[in-house]
Structure 1
Amino acid sequence: MKRKTANWLSAAAAAAGFAGCLFVNVTAALILLGTAAAVFMIQLLAHHSQQKEITQICDYIGEILRGAETVQFSSFEEGEMSILASEIRKMTIRLREQNAQLREEKQFMKESLEDISHQLRTPLTSMMLILGMLRKPDLPKQTRMEQVQELFSLLARMQWLIETLLSFSRIEAGAVQFREETVDCAAMIRAALEPISIALELKDIAVNVQIEGNPHYIGDLSYSVEAVGNVLKNCMEHTPEGGTITVAAQENPIYAGILITDSGAGIAQEDLPHIFERFYQSSDFAKKGFGIGLAFARKIVTAQHGSLQVRNAQPHGAQFDLRFYKTVV
């Protein structure tokens, strides 16, 4: 509307000028008339071209809304329409990326729910069988006590799995605020060993702790204990009776490092690239747990600007390398 008004005002001004010049000089009047006509035609053509470009952009937007993936805006090379087309193209790319991310998250949630259901189904089935056995009136007292103990063990495993999954989800959602405090590695390792000390004793597994100097770093003590505890628990599960777990801690100008080495059979080469994946269970090594502890440990360590890697030790066993960096890397 504004452009049409401007065109009519230009035409009126040209007519007034032509009338004025006609009384003074006919040649000047004709020149003015020709110039005004040329300007009017240029504006008319520009307006028509812009309308055509706007219609084309609207058609492209319609194709995008219908799910087209190959819409090109290259025909707009300069001017205001080019800027508009560029912004629409950027917005389209961002929307496509967000849509792809939403699809991935939806698929991940679906797979996670399936994995969780599978993980809970196994202990629940065992619990149902145990409860059915406990209902027998002639069940020997010793057998009854053993089954009750197994029932408590299954409940504890389920509780650990649920709590770990909840903590995992909170960290992934960015809902956890990690504390920044000075963490003494020696004290942290002692705290991580405490929950499994009885299990280690029952399996006659010796733990050798080697602390070099006074290693420490800035992080969250509580979550760090949980991460190291999960790694130690994994090592315990894969160390035979009478075996050894070695925990060595040291510090350098770049990071505070903790090496945890067990005397088990080690990790199969095909498992090494996947050992930190959630619910990974494809071999005898991975099938001894839920497949969540190591993934959770790495998530905690990386959230504190650290790293957690694994390799096979020589002559046998697995070695976990935890590093808490002094600066973000």
Structure 2
Amino acid sequence: MVKNKEVRRYISLGVIITAIVGVAAYFFKLPAFIAVVIEGVLLFLLWFVDMQGRYRHMEKMAQEIDLILHGRAAGMLSEYEEGDISILRNEIAKMTVMLRQQAEQLGDEKHKLADALADISHQIRTPLTSLNLMLEALKKEDDEEKKSRIIFDMRRQLERIDGLVVSLLKLAKMDAGTIKLQKSQVKLGELVKAALQPVEIMLELKGITTRIDVRGSFIGDKEWSSEALANILKNCMEHTADGGTITVSGYENAVHTELVIEDSGSGIDADDIQHIFERFYKGKNNKSDSYGIGLALARSIIAGQNGTVKAENVKNTDGKVCGARFIIRFYKGII
């Protein structure tokens, strides 16, 4: 309590007034009763002046809070000092700063949600429009062979919508933290093998050679990690010409476990590198039927396991881009 500035002021002034009244009573031979009355009056005046100051502070604080609530003031961080009112003032200042930050964060999330919904509606509307046109064409078509072709195309569009919805659900679950990632030892060789399975047929059809040189392991979730790696491999495959090469290398050291995926494709446009992991982002070299979700999901999965992923271009000795490189790191400690 003695650390309180207001308490110290009251004690100091009380001692000073008592000393003054005592000296006056000694020299002027004032009766004790009159001396006590004088001291009481002086202490009352001191209390009255102090209370007026307190109410002025509280009124000013109320006005500042009102301004903050209506967004016309930045905060109350300029008057930090000891004392009951000052402590209350400082705590309210901290609270208003926190509330403002939360309001700004909610505003940002609201805008992101609106943008995401707009992107989702656009992604779904395109295949739905195609389905509607195909359905009308199917009604008017009499040729059985053409009907079969239309039905086949309709099935592909439905698969597109299903794939989009599944990917969005996975991404939403990762963002919400509802997916509990396992923590077990994952060997890099087994991880790469599992990640290659979904794209093996397409790699064979395009004549793309895969070169694997991995060793080591990390602590993480094998199933989700293989999905993240599969999305990156799929991206590399789509941007690699027929007969090209995809190389996967990996090692483990005392700090992290690293996986490097390289392709012999056209590389990543300079304007796209900074945005390639953003959801719904489509680069200049992306296919028209790309969702722009795969790499965003891969980054979310890797980040959820204390990992990082970055993309860059591979250049030859002449400085010419000759492919893309994705570097994944799973750290053994908190980064």
TM-score range, shorter chain: 0.7 to 0.9
Query: 1:237·1:288 contact (CA, 8 Å) conserved in 2?
Result: no
- RMSD over equivalenced CA pairs, Å: 2.0
The letter of the residue matching 2:313 is: N
CA distance in 2, matches of 1:161, 1:223: 17
Say which is worse superposed, 254-263 or 89-98, in terms of deviation.
254-263
Q: Shift in Å at residue 287 of structure 1?
A: 4.8
Q: Shift in Å at residue 152 of structure 1?
A: 2.4
Counterpart position of 1:273: 274
Say which is worse superposed, 48-57 or 189-198, in terms of deviation.
48-57
Structure 2 length-normalised TM: 0.84
- Mapped pair 1:311 → 2:315: no
Counterpart position of 1:125: 129
CA distance in 2, matches of 1:75, 1:237: 60
- 1:152 is paired with a residue whose SS is helix
- 1:273 is paired with a residue whose SS is coil
Say which is worse superposed, 144-153 or 54-63, in terms of deviation.
144-153
- 1:274 is paired with a residue whose SS is coil
Say which is worse superposed, 155-164 or 281-290, in terms of deviation.
281-290
Counterpart position of 1:105: 109
Counterpart position of 1:46: 50
Counterpart position of 1:152: 155
CA distance in 2, matches of 1:75, 1:206: 68
Q: Shift in Å at residue 147 of structure 1?
A: 3.1
Identify unmatched segments of 5+ residues in structure 1: 1-20
The letter of the residue matching 1:294 is: L
CA distance in 2, matches of 1:286, 1:68: 48
Counterpart position of 2:330: 324
- 1:272 is paired with a residue whose SS is coil
Say which is worse superposed, 312-321 or 83-92, in terms of deviation.
312-321
Q: Shift in Å at residue 170 of structure 1?
A: 1.3
Matches within 5 A, 1:150-299: 150-211=153-214, 213=215, 215-285=216-286, 287=288, 289-299=290-300
Say which is worse superposed, 301-310 or 287-296, in terms of deviation.
287-296
Counterpart position of 1:36: 40
Any idea what the Cα deviations from partners look like across 1:266-318, whole Å, max 9, x if unmatched?
11111111111111124123756111111110111011011111111134111
The letter of the residue matching 2:304 is: A
Say which is worse superposed, 130-139 or 111-120, in terms of deviation.
130-139
CA 1:76 to 1:268, structure 2 compared with 1: closer, same or farther past 3 Å?
A: closer
The letter of the residue matching 1:274 is: H
Counterpart position of 1:86: 90
CA distance in 2, matches of 1:286, 1:46: 74
Say which is worse superposed, 40-49 or 68-77, in terms of deviation.
68-77
- 2:72 is paired with a residue whose SS is coil
- Residue correspondences, number: 303
Say which is worse superposed, 102-111 or 151-160, in terms of deviation.
151-160
- 1:317 is paired with a residue whose SS is strand
Q: Shift in Å at residue 234 of structure 1?
A: 0.8
- 2:177 is paired with a residue whose SS is coil
Q: Shift in Å at residue 225 of structure 1?
A: 0.9
Query: 2:76·2:90 contact (CA, 8 Å) conserved in 1?
Result: no
Say which is worse superposed, 182-191 or 94-103, in terms of deviation.
182-191
CA 1:75 to 1:195, structure 2 compared with 1: closer, same or farther past 3 Å?
A: closer
Structure 1 length-normalised TM: 0.86
Query: 1:267·1:285 contact (CA, 8 Å) conserved in 2?
Result: no
CA 1:267 to 1:26, structure 2 compared with 1: closer, same or farther past 3 Å?
A: closer
Q: Shift in Å at residue 71 of structure 1?
A: 4.9
Q: Shift in Å at residue 77 of structure 1?
A: 4.3
